[in-house]
Chains A and B, each alone.
Chain A
Amino acid sequence: MKLRSYFYLLPNIVRAFFSKPDTVNYPSITLEVADRFRGSVRIKAQNCVGCSLCVRDCPAQALELEKESKNSFRLIHYRDRCTYCGQCELSCRFDAIFLDNEYDEPSSNRAHFIVTLVERVPEE
C-alpha cells in the first residue's frame, strides 16, 4: 500500500529511541575496537634478526634499517609516513613486527613520530 510507505520508518525510530545509542561519547569513553583493528606498530625485539624484509616491503617507506653488522642494527619507524596497512606484519618471517589494538598518540612535534623499534648493539 502507498499509505504504508509513509509510516514504515515509524517503528524504527521508536526502537532506536528506546534502545542504547550506537555511538559513544568519544573523548570521555574509550572506544572498543575489533580484534583485527590495525593500530600502532609494535615489535617483539628478541625475535627480530634485522633481515630487512619489512623495510623492503613497506609501501609507504615508513621503516628504515640502519645496519652496521649482523649483530648491530637499528630498526626505525616513521609514524608520520606509516599508513598502517599491516604489510610489515605479513612480510615478517620471525613473528617479530605486528600491529596491536592501541592508538598512536597525536603530537604537534614531528620528532615524536620517529620511533626506534629495535636497537641492537653487539655484546662486549
Chain B
Amino acid sequence: MNILHMLFEILIFPGFAFVLFTALFFHWLDRKLIARFQGRIGPPWYQPVADLIKLFSKEDILPVGTNEVFATLLPLVSFAFVMTASFYLPFAVPTTQSFEGDIIVVIFLLSMPSLLYFLAGWITSGVYSILGGNRSLLQYFSYEVLFLLAISGTVITSGSWSLAGIRSAQLTSGSYFLPQLLGFFLTVSGLIGKLKRDPYDIPKAKSEMVAGPLTEFSGKKLGLWQLTNQLQTVVGLSFLVHTYFGGYWQMGTVGGFFTFYLLLILLQCLLSAISAIYARFRIDQLIRLNWYALIPLALIHNLFLVLK
C-alpha cells in the first residue's frame, strides 16, 4: 500500500504526469497570452499536445557526421535533469525529503540543460548549430552568475540553504517578494536567460540562425528538446514561487495548491508580457547589461541584506 502510494505520487500526482500536463498547459498559456498581447487570437487549447504528437510521429533525421548516440542521449538526459529538479519543488504536497543544500542541487539541475544545449550544437555538423552553441555558452556566462547572486538574497535572509528552510522562514517573516523586489526581478532576468526566452533568445535567434543548436534535430529528439524547455519553464517558475512566495504553505494542502497554481499563472503572465514587450538583445548588449549593471546591482543588494 505504501509503495503503491509512493508510486502514485511519483508517477501521477504531483509527479511525472501532472508536471508534464502543467508544462503543456503553461506552454499553451504562454502562446495564447503573447498572441493576445499582439492582437492575435492565438492557438486552441490542444495545440501543444498536437505539436508534440506531430513531432513524435515524424521521421527522425540526423545529418551525416553526427554522433547518433550523443544526439539521442542529450535530450533524454536534459529531460531527466529538469524532471529530477521538479521533484524538489513540490506542488503543495511534499514528495521528497528536503535536506540542507537542496537549493544548490536544484540550481545545478536547472543549469545542466543549458550546457547540454550547448553540446547539442557542438556535436552536430551544421554551421548554425555550432554558432548557436557558442552563443548559448556566451549567454550562459552572463545570466547564470546573475541568477546565482540574485537567488542567494533569499538564502542570506532566511539563513538556510534548503528550500524547506526558506519556505518556513517566510512563514514567520512574510514572503520575500515585496521586501526583496529588486532581487526578485533580477532572479526573473536570470530565469529568462535560462529559459532562452525573448529578450534573451540569442542562441536560437530565429531571424539569424534558424533554431540555433537544435537546427539539425527533428522528430522525437526535437519533441523531447521542446518538452524539456516547456518543463524548464514550469520548474523555474515554481522555483521562484518557493523562494519568493514561500508563505503559501500555511494555507493547507488544497488552498496551498491552488494559491501555488495561481502564483505560477501570474508569473507566466509576467514572463509572457516581457517576451511581448522586448526585442532580442545583441550578444554584446546582453553581456554589458549583465556584467556592468545587473550583477553589480545584485552584489549591492546582497551586501545590503547582509548588513541589515
| Residues of chain A whose beta carbon lies under 8 Å from any beta carbon of chain B | 7, 9-10, 13, 16-17, 19, 21-25
Q: Is B252 an interface residue (CB 8 A)?
A: no
Smallest Cβ-Cβ distance to B37: which chain A residue: A13
Q: Is B38 an interface residue (CB 8 A)?
A: yes
Inter-chain CA distance A23–B38, complex, in Å, is 10
Q: Is B36 an interface residue (CB 8 A)?
A: yes
Partner among A7, A9, A23 whose Cβ is within 8 Å of the Cβ of B40: A23
Q: Is the CB of B36 within 8 A of A10?
A: no
Contacts of A24 in B (CB 8 A): 41
Q: Is B65 an interface residue (CB 8 A)?
A: no
Inter-chain CA distance A7–B33, complex, in Å, is 18
Within 8 A of A (CB), among B28-44: 33, 35-41
Q: Is the CB of B276 within 8 A of A13?
A: yes
Q: How far is the CB of A1 from chain B (nearest CB, A)?
A: 16
Smallest Cβ-Cβ distance to A24: which chain B residue: B41
Residue pairs across A and B with CB atoms within 8 Å: the count is: 30
Partner among A13, A21, A22 whose Cβ is within 8 Å of the Cβ of B273: A13
Inter-chain CA distance A10–B273, complex, in Å, is 8
Interface residues on B, range: 10 to 19
Chain B interface helix/strand/loop/mixed = helix
Partner among A13, A17, A21 whose Cβ is within 8 Å of the Cβ of B277: A13
Contacts of A9 in B (CB 8 A): 276-277
Within 8 A of A (CB), among B19-33: 33
| Residues of chain B whose beta carbon lies under 8 Å from any beta carbon of chain A | 33, 35-41, 273, 276-277
Q: Is the CB of B37 within 8 A of A17?
A: yes
Contacts of A10 in B (CB 8 A): 273, 277
Q: How far is the CB of A120 from chain B (nearest CB, A)?
A: 48
Q: How far is the CB of A119 from chain B (nearest CB, A)?
A: 44
Contacts of B277 in A (CB 8 A): 7, 9-10, 13
Smallest Cβ-Cβ distance to A15: which chain B residue: B39
Q: Is the CB of B38 within 8 A of A16?
A: yes
Q: Is the CB of B41 within 8 A of A23?
A: yes
Smallest Cβ-Cβ distance to A26: which chain B residue: B41
Contacts of A17 in B (CB 8 A): 33, 36-37
Contacts of A19 in B (CB 8 A): 39
Q: Rank and list the top 10 A-B pairs by shortest CB-CB distance, nearest first.
A: A13-B37, A16-B39, A22-B39, A9-B277, A21-B41, A23-B40, A17-B36, A23-B41, A13-B276, A16-B37
Partner among B33, B37, B40, B276 whose Cβ is within 8 Å of the Cβ of A22: B40
Inter-chain CA distance A17–B39, complex, in Å, is 7
Q: Is the CB of A16 within 8 A of B36?
A: yes
Q: How far is the CB of A32 from chain B (nearest CB, A)?
A: 15
Inter-chain CA distance A7–B278, complex, in Å, is 9
Q: How far is the CB of B115 from chain A (nearest CB, A)?
A: 31
Smallest Cβ-Cβ distance to A10: which chain B residue: B277
A-B pairs with beta carbons under 8 Å apart, 5 shown:
A10-B273, A10-B277, A13-B37, A17-B37, A23-B40
Contacts of A23 in B (CB 8 A): 39-41
Contacts of B35 in A (CB 8 A): 21
* Most-contacted residue by chain A among B33, B38, B39, B276 (CB, 10 A): B39
